[in-house]
Amino acid sequence: MTDLSPLPKPALGEPYLLTPGPLTTSEAVKQAMLRDWGSWDGDFRAMTAELRRRLCALLGSDAEAYDCVPLQGSGSYVVEAMLGSFVPWDGKVLVLANGAYGQRAADTLRVMGKAHTMLDKGDYAPPRGPEITRLLEADPEITHVFAVHCETSSGILNPIQEIADATYAAGRKLLIDSMSAFGAVPLDPREIQFEAVVSSANKCIEGVPGFGFVLARKTALEAAEGNSLSLSLDLHRQWAAMNKTGQWRFTPPTHVVAAFIEALRAHEAEGGVAARGARYSENRDVLVSGMRDLGFVTLLSDDWLSPIITTFFCPADPNFDFTKFYDAMKARGFILYPGKLTRAESFRIGHIGQVDAHVMRAVVHAVAEVLQEMGVQCAAPASESLAEQQAETV
Ligand SMILES: *Cc1c(COP(=O)(O)O)cnc(C)c1O
């Protein structure tokens, strides 16, 4: 294990956010927000241009075929914008769902009135290539496949290469929600084909919340003209206006953009996607091995664990109470994340943001203390949770 010097503590009294965004940001990112910018001014236009250029560069050397369009709002706004802008009115989407964000994409299409069908794998089983191939063969009306890269509700890293290969072998187009993975998990269009991918400011780039962005083929952005029934969520309009004026169409979140540029510079200085992914992976490894030593069981087998966030089953011990556990962890400086499974009792610990292996060791230490305080003898989950886990063919 590499010996990292400890990251500075977040500002006095602030707990670490072990959540998948908003997350713990650096002092420099926070400092960057202490200035007001005029949205029409040349300085801010240069910041917007830098933001777009840096994000495109994260795709790798084939980046010229792609362009970046930032859009105001949280991540869901840009997912909605992607589905609304790239799927034509006579199109149909195959939504690959294995958690809340896949379900939300299907809801979004339903509200928009766009044709779609869903492959629902339940709480955490991954969608696989052969089943996607079968579904696409059976339904020639499907024009697009929607996939979630890291499904943050369980933490599963979906097999995006396999999904892209099956999609393009069948002559369809892929739209990716890489909200919680982009910037830490490579997505090189020379290897993984896709039309568009979305992410947001407050995930692996380690900015603060306030906007999302799409990276899309320029040909797809051109072809998107007239598809959107929303004015503010129309990515073609946003793109065309930004190219023409260098400005955002409507009031941009100026402070958030300033913070994000600081975060992008830090991302590059750290060593880009590879280094960011390596730090997060080490965070996960330290956390998971420490928690397993305490008797905890992860929802997913090692093959499917992401570097982003990990789900643990709650201990079956009757003395365990998640609310008390949460409060005691918060008192020690760590904000955890409740589970999002429909059946088994679980909780999640995120390992992205300004946290490193030292922080993760401190988390495990605090968990051990809290279990002792609560009188929990053993952190093993209920046998039903484990049986259910065996039943889902992961
Ligand atoms: C965070 C996230 C989103 C967007 O959620 P918002 O709350 O709208 O920011 C979408 N998809 C995934 C996979 C996410 O992790």
Which residue is it, tokens 């005029």? 38
Identify the CA nearest to 304 among candidates 156, 126, 159.
156
Residue pLDDT tens, the chain, 394 long: 444 455 556 655 689 999 998 999 999 999 999 999 999 999 999 999 999 999 999 998 777 899 999 999 999 999 999 999 999 999 999 999 999 999 999 999 999 999 999 999 999 999 999 999 999 999 999 999 999 999 999 999 999 999 999 999 999 999 999 999 999 999 999 999 999 999 999 999 999 999 999 999 999 999 999 999 999 999 999 999 999 999 999 999 999 999 999 999 999 999 999 999 999 999 999 999 999 999 999 999 999 999 999 999 999 999 999 999 999 999 999 999 998 887 789 999 999 999 999 999 999 999 999 999 999 999 999 888 887 777 765 4
Can you give the pLDDT at residue 63? 75
- CB distance 200 to ligand 1 below 6 Å: yes
Instruction: Give the Cα separation of 32 and 48 in Å (integer).
Output: 15
Can you give the pLDDT at residue 64? 87
- CB distance 99 to ligand 1 below 6 Å: no
Q: At 247, list the tokens.
A: 């400005």
- CB distance 155 to ligand 1 below 6 Å: no
The pTM for the full model equals 0.95
- CB distance 389 to ligand 1 below 6 Å: no
- CB distance 224 to ligand 1 below 6 Å: no
Atom of ligand 1 nearest to the CA of 79: 10
- CB distance 78 to ligand 1 below 6 Å: no
Can you give the pLDDT at residue 12? 54
Instruction: Give the Cα separation of 49 and 252 in Å (integer).
Output: 13
Show the 3-state SS of 120-178: ECCCCCCCCHHHHHHHHHHCCCCCEEEEECEECCCCEECCHHHHHHHHHHCCCEEEEEC
Q: How far is the CA of 105 from the centre of ligand 1 (A)?
A: 10
Can you give the pLDDT at residue 121? 97
The answer to whether the CB of 146 falls within 8 A of the CB of 177 is yes
Q: How far is the CA of 173 from the centre of ligand 1 (A)?
A: 22
DSSP 64: G
Instruction: Give the Cα separation of 379 and 322 in Å (integer).
Output: 12
- CB distance 76 to ligand 1 below 6 Å: yes
Burial of 334 (0-12, 13-18, 19+ CB in 10 A): buried
Full set of structural domains in the chain with CATH? 11-24+273-392 (3.90.1150.10), 27-269 (3.40.640.10)
Residue 122: its H or E element:
none
Count of CB atoms situated within 10 Å of the CB of 49: 12
Q: How far is the CA of 321 from the centre of ligand 1 (A)?
A: 27
DSSP 278: H
Can you give the pLDDT at residue 8? 54
- CB distance 178 to ligand 1 below 6 Å: no
| Largest Cα–Cα separation, the chain | 64
The CA distances from residue 339 to 15, 310, 320, in Å, are 20, 10, 15
Atom of ligand 1 nearest to the CA of 209: 9
Beta carbons within 8 Å of 369's beta carbon, 6+ residues apart = 332
Can you give the pLDDT at residue 222? 98
Beta carbons within 8 Å of 54's beta carbon, 6+ residues apart = 261, 264, 268
Instruction: Give the Cα separation of 69 and 215 in Å (integer).
Output: 7
